[in-house]
A and B are shown apart, each in its own frame.
Chain A
Amino acid sequence: MTATVQSTPGGFGTRMLRKEDPQLLTGENKFIDDIKAPGQLWMGMIRSPYAHAMIDAIDATGAESMPGVHSVLTGAQLADMGLWLAPMPCAWPVTDDMVNPPHFPVAVSEAKHVGDIVAVVLCNDRYAMADAVEQVIVDYTPLPAVATLQAAVDGTAMAHSDLDTNRAYHWPLDPNPEGTAAAFANAAHTVKARFIQQRLIPMPMEPRGCLAIPSPAGGEIVLYSASQIPHILKVMIAATTGIPENKIRVIAPSVGGGFGGKLNVDADAVLAVTLANKLGLPVRWTEERSECAGASHQGRGQIQHVEAAADADGKITAIRVHLDADMGAYMMLITPGIPLLGSFLYTGVYDVANFSFSCDGYFTNMTPTDAYRGAGRPEASYAIERIMDIMAREIGMAPEELRARNYINGGEKFENFDAASTLVFDSGHYKPAHDRALEMADVAGLRAEQARRRDTGEAKQLGIGMCTYVEICGLAPSRALGGLNYGAGGWEHATVRLLPTGKVEVVSGSTPHGQGHETSWSQIIAEKMGIDPNDVEVLHSDTALSPLGLDTYGSRSLSVGGVAIALAADKVIDKAKLIAAHQFEASPEDIEFAGGSFSVAGTPSKSVHIQELGFAAFTAHDLPDGMEPNLQEQVSFDPPNFAFPFGTHVAVVEIDTETGGIELIDYVGVDDCGVQVNPLIVEGQLHGGIAQGAAQALFEEAVYDEDGNITNPSLMDYLVPSAMELPLIKLDSTVTPSTSNPLGVKGVGEAGTIGSAAAVINAVCDALSPYGVIDMEMPATPQRIWKAINGGAA
């Protein structure tokens, strides 16, 4: 039950303190808003206050005459300037007939959500910009707004006035429809439920922002962007603007969290680049929190129709799922594909023979949706883990017993399992995590205490909930993505350089925004090459330093990008071995490599450390015949399969049945992300992920009113939990190596979020079961709980 045994100083399994921390703890590092350019113009957005409206007229004369205002540009004026070659990009047209009306950075005639940009101002400073935004007068004619997902499904109004449907696509995954129908027809038990995945706001603590700096004579442009995806952004800016790709350099400086919220190609970046290019002046934009909350993309937004069938022994025989998914007003970079990332996981950790899935994507007049931590998989995990609890109650079986009866391979270790959803699960071993989590949480003791409180009728009642999740990460095998109509590959690139003085530079295509890549990548070098991790420098997040990469999302950095680094290190070692053999006048087959040193087998006194060979490779005075100078190798790694981390989480809630008040009083997670490079970082990822999933269960929701106005676009009203709302989190881990890569690693960036929402809501429903409560909509607020206890609708 422990992490990998430490093999090399600083190598795998070392709880190494982060190399990133000193700069961040002293204020020395630079986030996007810390970077300035001489002569920069501040860009501000004039945004629609209506969810759906025609733009009749824009009067900018007042703003244009204000001090410090450079110019005001409306959507129509920008369209006439010919700044863009193509509409805003959607890289994932999930079906060939997907409806995707073109949209541009600034709306011209029709605003389609509150926060849609209708004009921009350019000013000399931040305060002048804020003043000018207030003075641009826009006349609108409001149109009927599609302000809920259900309204989009019902089709009472159209989100796009030139379309006669709100449905953008229908995507089925139904490998065996007859089997599913027969399983339901013959089932001893069937249950069904309708779950709502409310809209969530990613809310990284750093708002987004960008700064575009042109070089008018050379035709080059540098875009600084608080982005998770500088490499993808570069390609997409080129495709959207027509600026040659090789004239664009994108730099993501220190990025203050992302969680999917900075995984997009947004209007601001396209506007900043094109306007800077046109004007020959730097253009910057810093997002306000209200813009982050109300106008940048949101996550989730689904109605899930879930059915399960079981035989008399509680063996699940079929799962059938239909999703209605809220795209929001526009298709952003990967909007339509988000629900499909979860599609393969609706059978969870269970051996279910029959599976039917379909998803309909709908336009609404709300903020576009796209990736938020977990992106499709928390939704899937929630659905299967909630329906398992509902089935357990239907049968009259303990939830852990129903799960144990259905685990793949009976809960014992397996490799390369063919799931009914058509994917192959790399490896799993579900029962140890299950047993350990129940033991750590003392579920038996909690059940006794719960029974005691129920018997005595105490006001504060206990609820215990569990979730045994599996997720799909390590995005992704390029061929698999191609099969899903995704517009790019899923490889990752790395270069490892041994410098003349023996120091190492690692060039990483994956791009950190808080995950600690510099530390973990240094540990990969330590593990592979026997080099002190403090002798390693990691270069990243700048397309000039790191020209090839596919960036950071989908818990892919280690299992794709980290593996590329390890493979490049292997190639450096292989070449260095030839130099060592040459120096020893020995055959390469007789050279051994251990602890960073090459030695001749049987003659341990003849030994050279790999770092000492950097100088020989650099001077090239005496290399083997035909060998190129320098020790630098690169690898593009395209994984043969996804990785499937898993684990069991247990949540314990205490509910005040008199007030509806709820407190999360204990939380246990036993997670398996394969081989661990740095357990300290693994735990940190889990803590934060669990907090975000628990927050979906209890606190967070982007609330829209009947007119399509977001009512809580601030950190005052959108309830990101504070330290007060969360308990200490008890963690342990198991290690089941992945078969999808040579390091045996999986991923852990999203696992916490994928496991926690279902665990918490299962606990809430468990606490309320004496009141006949079967389901509880998220977030489980005191009002909803009080209503459920008192016989109202939950």
Chain B
Amino acid sequence: MTVNGDSHSHDVEPRTLLVHHIREGVGLTGTNIGCDTSSCGACTVHVGGQSVKSCTMLAVQAEGADITTIEGLAATARTDGSATGDQNWHPMQEAFQQCHALQCGYCTPGMVMAATSFLKENPSPTEAEIREGLEGNLCRCTGYHNIVKAVQAAAGGAS
């Protein structure tokens, strides 16, 4: 598989979850685990450009896949020219900081990955559509207020 543009080849047990492989096999720990029921979305990554909860997928199912994790998002944004600000981040990372859309930061990687994928599908969402689009990602700190604002900001101020 390719992770953040780098090719990785490992033998894995058939039952290994993709998230465990990314964290422990590939060694990228930015993707977090928050539950055991695919409810929280903390482990959301992009597989082939689409958001996937990486605890719902086996590593072997991702054979040959092109995976992006939070660690690779800024690089992806630089490649496609959408990077913003001094830090050369993805516009969604930038918006999350500007809007104070994170506190403890544990849900953040998954939330950011889900939100970027959502905006690709719906570039000009309403507030209600943003809330619906992020329903699969839980945050315990922010009450979602500033997360919704950040997604609106990243979408160009649409509300």
A residues contacting B by CB (< 8 A) are: 17-18, 20-31, 33-34, 126-127, 203-207, 254-257, 259, 288-290, 513-516, 680-681, 683-685, 687-692, 714-716, 720, 722-724, 726, 728-729
Residues of B that sit less than 8 Å from A by CB: 13, 15-16, 20, 23-24, 28-37, 39-40, 42, 69-71, 73-74, 87, 89, 93, 96-98, 100, 102-109, 112, 127, 130-132, 134-148
Q: Report whether A205 and B139 are in contact in the complex, using a CB–CB cutoff of 8 Å.
A: yes
User: Chain A's nearest CB lies how many Å from the CB of B133?
Assistant: 8
Which residues in A have their C-beta under 8 angstroms from that of B33? 33, 207
- Using CB atoms, name the residue of chain B closest to A690: B143
8 Å CB contact of B36 from A23, A254, A714: A714
A34 in contact with B135 (CB, 8 Å) = no
Partner of A257, one of B87, B112, B131, B141: B141
CB distance from A661 to the nearest CB of B (A): 16
Across the interface, do B141 and A688 meet the contact criterion of CB distance under 8 Å? yes
Q: Is the interface of B mostly helix, strand, loop or mixed?
A: loop
* Given A30-B29, A688-B142: A24 in contact with B108 (beta carbons within 8 A): yes
Q: Is there an interface contact between A720 and B132, defined as CB atoms closer than 8 Å?
A: no
- Bound-complex Cα distance A786 to B142 (A): 31
- CB < 8 Å: which of A206, A290, A689, A714 contacts B106? A206
Which chain B residues border A17 with CB–CB below 8 Å? Answer: 97-98, 100
8 nearest CB pairs, A to B: A27-B30, A256-B106, A514-B104, A24-B105, A691-B143, A715-B39, A34-B29, A687-B143
Find out whether the CB atom of B142 lies under 8 angstroms from the CB atom of A684. Answer: yes
The distance in angstroms between the C-alpha atoms of A31 and B108, with both chains bound, is 13
Instruction: Tell me which of B87, B100, B142, B148 has the highest count of chain A C-beta atoms within 10 A of its own C-beta.
Output: B100
16 further A-B pairs in the complex, CB-CB below 8 A; given A17-B97, A513-B104: A18-B100, A20-B105, A21-B96, A23-B105, A25-B112, A26-B73, A30-B29, A127-B13, A206-B34, A683-B100, A687-B142, A715-B39, A723-B132, A723-B139, A723-B147, A729-B145
Are A27 and B36 in touch, CB under 8 angstroms?
no
Whether A728 contacts B140 in the complex (CB less than 8 A), given A25-B96, A26-B30, A26-B71, comes out as no
Most buried by B among A17, A205, A207: A205
Do residues B141 and A514 form an inter-chain contact, with CB atoms below 8 A? yes
Name the residue among A29, A203, A288, A688 with the largest chain B CB count within 10 angstroms: A688
Distance A31 CA – B140 CA, assembled complex (angstroms): 16
Knowing A26-B71, A255-B104, A515-B103 are in contact, say whether A723-B93 is a contact too (CB < 8 A): no
CB pair A203 B29 closer than 8 Å: no
Pick the residue among B127, B138, B142 that contacts A720 (CB under 8 A).
Answer: B138
A691 touches B144 (CB 8 A): yes
Q: How far is the CB of B16 from chain A (nearest CB, A)?
A: 8
Rounded to whole angstroms, the CA-CA distance of A453 and B21 in the bound complex is 56
A24 CA / B141 CA spacing, docked (Å) = 14
* Distance of A631 Cα from B74 Cα, bound (Å): 40
Q: Contact check, A22 vs B144: say whether CB atoms are below 8 A apart.
A: no
Q: Which of A28, A204, A255, A687 contacts B145 (CB 8 A)?
A: A687
Q: Nearest CB to that of A722 among chain B residues?
A: B135
Which A residue's beta carbon lies closest to that of B138?
A: A720
Given contacts A289-B36, A514-B103, contact A715 B138 (CB under 8 A): yes
Shortest CB distance A681–B (Å)? 7
Docked CA distance A515–B141 (Å):
9
* Residue in A254, A515, A681, A722 whose beta carbon sits within 8 Å of that of B138 in the complex: A722
Q: Is the CB of A288 within 8 A of B104?
A: no
Query: In the complex, which residues of chain B have a beta carbon less than 8 angstroms from the beta carbon of A18?
Result: 97, 100
Closest Cβ–Cβ distance, residue A39 to chain B (whole Å): 15
The smallest C-beta distance from B30 to any residue of chain A, in angstroms, reads 2
B147 to chain A, nearest CB (A): 7
Out of B20, B35, B69, name the residue touching A126 (CB < 8 Å).
B20
